[in-house]
Chains A and B, each alone.
Chain A
Amino acid sequence: MTNERLQEILARHAGTEGPLLPILHDVQRAFGCVSPDTQQAIAQALNLSRAEVHGVVSFYHDFTEEADPRPCVQLCRAEACQARGVEALIEAAEAAAGNRVRISPVYCLGLCSVGPAARIGDTLHARLDAASLVRLVEAA
């Protein structure tokens, strides 16, 4: 099953120039991670060494070797959101998240004039305060 979906992804990018990143994005979305076994299969399909594929997976923040099933709230911690007070919200957000939700920092969502900002999946939220952020984390 896993293998079929992987083969389907690889086939989709057969004619692509520089196909590795598009493949890794699709794999990460489909499986929640790029496991060592998958890396080997990708390497074989693209005629690369396993080390080359592993090097790329480990370089980029978006790719992970192990899946984390928890919902993820990405909170912008860059300068513009800092200037709008995001650091004061961290404690409340982490307390609300506990072990159930993963709070991960992101450096800029491009909402720098209306921060603090967060992203859950492809949904964005801005002008957050402690109460609204806690509500988001609890609903995630």
Chain B
Amino acid sequence: MIVRISDDSLALALGADALASGFEAAGATVERVSSWGMHWLEPLVEVDGIGYGPATVDDVSAILDGTSALNIGPIADHPFIKPQQRLTFARAGKTRPLSLEDYEATGGWSGLRRAQAMSGEAVIAEVTQSGLRGRGGAGFPAGIKWNTVAKAPGGRKYVVCNADEGDSGTFADRMLMEGDPFQLIEGLAICAHAVGAQTAYIYTRSEYPHAIAKLRAAIDLAAAIIAPLHMEVREGAGAYVCGEETSLLNSIEGKRGVVRAKPPLPALEGLFGCPTVVNNVLTIAAIPHILSEGGAAEYAALGVDRSLGTKPIQLAGNIKHGGLYETAFGISLHDLVYTIGGGTASGRPVKAVQVGGPLGAYIPPAQFDLPFDYEAYARADALIGHGGVVVVDDSADMGRLARFAMEFCAVESCGKCTPCRIGSTRGVELLDRIRVGAKVLDPVGALPQMHNAPKVARTADQDIALLEELCETMKFGSLCALGGFTPYPVLSALRHWPEDFQ
């Protein structure tokens, strides 16, 4: 009897290894596969297509004789899995992550073989035709970026995969690197062929040791297939700001992860001053499908408006059915949070969701009809970012969360630009004063050399007006998204839940 259990680090954190040993001790053959992405059911056990979860060692014998009460029926027909449109995560739950045999049997390397028979220009034309936009959050069209690098003068070029997934509430990059590393490798090889790069780097976080190990093993296994391309994994060192592409490049070069001013664009002067493609894991991982026969047209047929294709959405935080949900753009938050996610895990009413990580806006239930689409979110003063959806229940203090956002920016700021470096610290102080409620004279303003600062304490309203002004400065004056987007969670919390700031 073959029992399939995930070896994704989320399953490991919930005791999947002990569970697998339990099944082996009971005489079953255990296959370690990637995760289906139904995290509330992990560790999930699959026997002949039927799922059991969340399982513990005590459930082994009941699962093997088919009497377990944890039976969820056929996994592929589960209401969380069936409506999904999985292209990037097509293999999730189905293949062994480091099995070249499984990868090949599920259509692996066909995109690369087809691309290698085409000119770089033709490959880029198909990527452009697919409408694929950067999945890291900025949404820049991938085809245009690749074309810039391909046309840039110079013989030495690089492809860099941004796998520095630091946003809270996101785990799709991690799941892909751990669950289907060959797909990322294939996407990078296609990109390198298209733009004429000799070296590809995957920069990921030191907080993801399992992903690093899997990627390194996968690169070794695939070395002959992607030759002569040289591919390497580079490990970050705990700096959130290195998810920003220019500070990521500095980090690979062995420098402080400080943001670079743009221009020059990395596409023209990137890693070691050479033309460089920097794309997110999910952007690169979408490429093998797009380059398969008819894949580009199929991809472009999904989605809405200018947001085409599918987006792997991550349901996280206080949600009953958390996990990975890949679907075409256009789905509403209401469907995601209530229909698919089942509401909060705590059973209390939903107060807000934060979409797009620590720099994303808090959205109140009144706006849950917003379609998942880059432009629609931008119009609502929000961002979809990397597609993380963090649900908070009505016990949350939005004033405290707003302060946390500012404090996070203060701690993680690289220090290059003033609005982010100083603004975030002043923002924390302002929020503290507003939340205390009493009139407190700003100690910096009270200094004798601060000639223009008022010498009487501001009222709460004046402090709030000042906070709004500060956020405006950070939004438009910061060099990168860290300082530029921190105002989103702060201002959205202030706008929708002013009572939490008194």
Contact = CB atoms under 8 A, between A and B. Distances in A.
Interface string A105-116: 011111111110
Contacts of A62: 206, 236-238
Interface in B211-246: 234-240
Interface string B37-56: 00110100000000000000
A114 B14 contact: yes
A10 interface: no
Interface string A47-91: 000001001100111110000000000000011111110000000
A19 to B, nearest CB: 6
Contact of A122 (B42, B166, B210, B240): B210
A21 interface: yes
A56 B255 CA distance: 6
Nearest to B247: A59
Nearest to A105: B411
B171 A107 contact: no
B9 A79 contact: no
Contacts of A125: 13
A21 B408 CA distance: 24
Interface in B233-287: 234-240, 251-258, 272
A52 to B, nearest CB: 8
Nearest to B395: A85
Contact of B318 (A46, A55, A83): A83
A102 interface: no
A59 B242 CA distance: 11
B65 to A, nearest CB: 27
Interface string A8-49: 000000000111111011000000000000000000001000
A111 B178 CA distance: 13
A92 interface: no
B322 A108 contact: no
Interface stretch (B366-374, B386-394, B448-456, B477-485): B386-394
Nearest to A122: B209
B169 A112 contact: yes
Contacts of A22: 234-235
A113 B323 contact: yes
A21 B234 contact: yes
Contact of B167 (A106, A108, A115): A108
Interface residues of A, number: 41
B396 interface: yes
A114 B42 contact: yes
Contacts of B236: 60, 62
Contacts of B253: 18
Contacts of B345: 84
A20 B237 CA distance: 12
Nearest to A124: B13
A112 B255 CA distance: 30
B239 A80 contact: no
B136 interface: no
B162 interface: no
A17 B160 CA distance: 14
A113 B40 contact: yes
Contacts of B14: 114, 126-127
B293 interface: no
A117 interface: yes
B208 interface: yes
A59 B9 contact: no
A127 to B, nearest CB: 6
Nearest to B240: A107
B274 to A, nearest CB: 11
Nearest to B393: A83
Q: Find the residue from A80, A84, A108 having the highest chain B CB count within 10 A.
A: A80
Nearest to A81: B168
A80 B390 contact: yes
B170 interface: yes
A26 to B, nearest CB: 10
Nearest to A21: B254
Nearest to B408: A107
Contacts of B42: 114
A43 to B, nearest CB: 12
B317 A79 contact: yes
Contacts of B475: none
B210 A59 contact: no
A19 B238 contact: no
B326 interface: no
Interface in B7-21: 9-10, 12-14
A133 to B, nearest CB: 13
Closest 7 CB pairs of A and B: A113-B322, A20-B254, A78-B168, A61-B238, A60-B237, A112-B316, A83-B317
Given A18-B272, A82-B401, 13 more contacts: A18-B252, A52-B255, A59-B256, A59-B414, A63-B237, A107-B166, A110-B10, A111-B9, A113-B171, A113-B316, A114-B39, A122-B210, A126-B10
5 contacts: A17-B272, A56-B255, A61-B239, A79-B168, A81-B168
